[in-house]
Amino acid sequence: MKYLLKLIAIILFNFVVNGNGQAQTKPQTIVYTDIDNFWIAFDSLQTTTDSLKQYNMLQKLYVDKGTPGLKAFMQAKGYTTEAWLDCIRSYPKYWASIRPKTLKIKAVNKELDPYIAKFKQLYPAFKPANIYFTIGAMRSGGTTQNDKVLIGAELATGDPEVDISELPANTQNWLKTYFGTYPFKDVVLLNMHEFVHTQQKGRGNTLLTQTILEGTADFVAELITGKVPAMAYMPYGKQHEAQLKQQFKEEMFLDNYGNWLYNGASNNFGVADLGYYMGYAICKHYYQQAKDKKAVVKELIELDYSNDETIEKFLAKTGYFKEGFNKVESLKTYESKKPVVSSLSGITNGDKNVDATLTEMTIHFSKPMIKNRMSINLGEGGEANFPIKKSLGFAEDGKSIKFQLELKPKHTYNFVITGRGFRSTDGYPLAELPVSFTTR
């Protein structure tokens, strides 16, 4: 969610370095054409109820006239004319209430000027990018593609006044939270954060690299604006840093961000995006210890975030973990805390003589599990060899789950019990277990 909020903040300016090596402000290329074209097409759709005519109008007046940004957004998010038409026809109250808000994008002023000057002092080398404000089909508030920043104004400009009553319940829930943040409210801070991202190289392969990438953006934005994001992870992180630090150290070399980044509050701490705080804390600690602070800003921005070894050396250099860290031991400790499948009831893994009249199977776990999460993947042979018909639910203690089976004689079945969904109540994913058996 926060990733989308930040993307909408990239607005009017960027920097380039002139021939004298001095940074100078350069107006960013901002394109609003797609917003105008969308509402022209939208009004035309109201003149007929014929779905074919509506499709042709939308295609001709919006899609065919689309900017390179709209084309890129379509490619990135799988948007089609059909998707837009279905969205428009299904949620008329939403579109009526969001319309005036999408038009306010054009009124963005030059409040960034003093912060641009501060950014210039901190880091003089900037690369420009084109910004396209479009109307999507409610799948993304924003993303990027190469040198294009792509904004979906139908989400990015929302606030609590938007009528979401026609949308599915789960969509209403996340939009209520998202719109409650007023995405454009603190445009300067968000904009500075994204300016940093446009200068960084690569994305993280591990939790550590990605948290430092995000933390650098939060920290440098704070140096420029004097503010930190008004997000729950900031106050919570400051109050619980010692506890967070311990768990982060255990998980920081994983390639799974789920507990820390781009998540909801479904983690051990009940607070989303705590990886942002950990990255911020590491960067700030390093900065505070340094004598040449401008050199630190340059180093943070220019780190190669795609190189795990570089980031690990950087972490050691920061001294954030005074006791040091050991990658092999951290991974070993993490693996040792994963829950495992302790046994199966009804079948035995590898059994070649299972009764085909069997209708139930129970999976037993070594730890209590979160009861609203599960994941069993197809095995070899796909659906033809998948025996599970439906879940019958967890036991009260969360240490087992029962499934209904549908078997036929003389058939081999395969599936994989995975940690993508199954997770213990203390936050660890299940160790994966392939299962195979054959009926007689």
Give first-to-last CA distance, the chain, whole Å: 51
Predicted confidence (pLDDT) at residue 108 exceeds the cutoff of 80:
no
| Winning range, highest mean pLDDT, from 71-85, 105-119, 149-163 | 71-85
> How many C-beta neighbours within 10 Å does residue 50 have?
10
Tell me the average pLDDT across 297-325.
Answer: 96
Q: What is the pTM of this model?
A: 0.72
pLDDT, position 117: 78
**Of 61-65, 268-272, 297-301, 378-382, minimum mean pLDDT range:** 268-272
The reply to whether 82 and 172 lie within a common domain is yes
Domain identity same for 189 and 251: no
Q: Are residues 110 and 225 located together in one domain of the fold?
A: no
Domain boundary among 165, 194, 223: 194
Cα–Cα dist 336/387, whole Å = 30
Give the chain's mean pLDDT. 87
| Spatial contact of 12 and 110, defined as CB atoms under 8 Å apart | yes
The verdict on 327 and 212 lying in the same domain is yes
Residue 432: give the domain boundaries: 341-438
Q: Tell me, yes or no, whether 119 and 180 share the same domain.
A: yes
CA dist 282 and 317 (Å) reads 11
Do 25 and 126 share a domain, yes or no? Answer: yes
Q: Which of 309, 336, 363 is the last residue of a domain?
A: 336
- Kindly state the average pLDDT of the residues 407-416: 97
Give yes or no: residues 389 and 269 share one domain: no
Average pLDDT over residues 266-285: 91
pLDDT at residue 279, rounded to an integer: 98
pLDDT digits (tens, 9 = 90+) for 134-166: 999 998 877 766 677 778 889 888 899 999 999
More confident residue, 100 or 13: 100
Q: How confident is the model at residue 240 (pLDDT cuts 50, 70, 90)?
A: very high
Q: How far is CA 81 from the centre of its chain?
A: 26
Last residue of a domain, one of 291, 318, 336: 336
288 CB burial (10 A radius; 0-12, 13-18, 19+)? exposed
252 and 366 in a common domain: no
Q: What is the mean pLDDT of residues 414-429?
A: 93
pLDDT digits 0-9 by tens, 61-77: 999 999 999 999 999 89
Confidence check: pLDDT of 169 > 90: no
pLDDT tier, 170 (very low <50, low <70, confident <90, very high otherwise): confident
72 with 185, same domain: the answer is yes
pLDDT band for 121, please (50, 70, 90 cuts).
confident
pLDDT value at position 182? Answer: 82
User: Within this chain, do residues 207 and 190 fall inside the same structural domain, yes or no?
Assistant: no
Which DSSP string do the residues of 352-404 spell out, in sequence order? S-B-TT--EEEEEESS-B-TT---EEE-TTGGGG--EEEEEEE-TTSSEEEEE
Element (H, E) at 148: strand 148-152
Crossing angle, helix 81-90 and helix 92-102, to 10 degrees?
110
Q: Kindly report, residue by residue over 177-224, the tens digit of the pLDDT.
A: 778 878 777 767 776 787 788 788 888 799 999 999 999 999 999 999
**Number of domains the chain is built from:** 3
Q: Are residues 319 and 253 in the same domain?
A: yes
Query: How does DSSP classify residue 331?
Result: H
Q: Are 391 and 403 in contact (CB under 8 A)?
A: yes
One domain for residues 269 and 405 = no
Tell me the CATH number at 380. Answer: 2.60.40.1220
Closest CA to 105 of 24, 169, 183, 160: 183
Closest by CA to 276, choosing from 225, 226, 331, 237, is 237
pLDDT of residue 12: 36
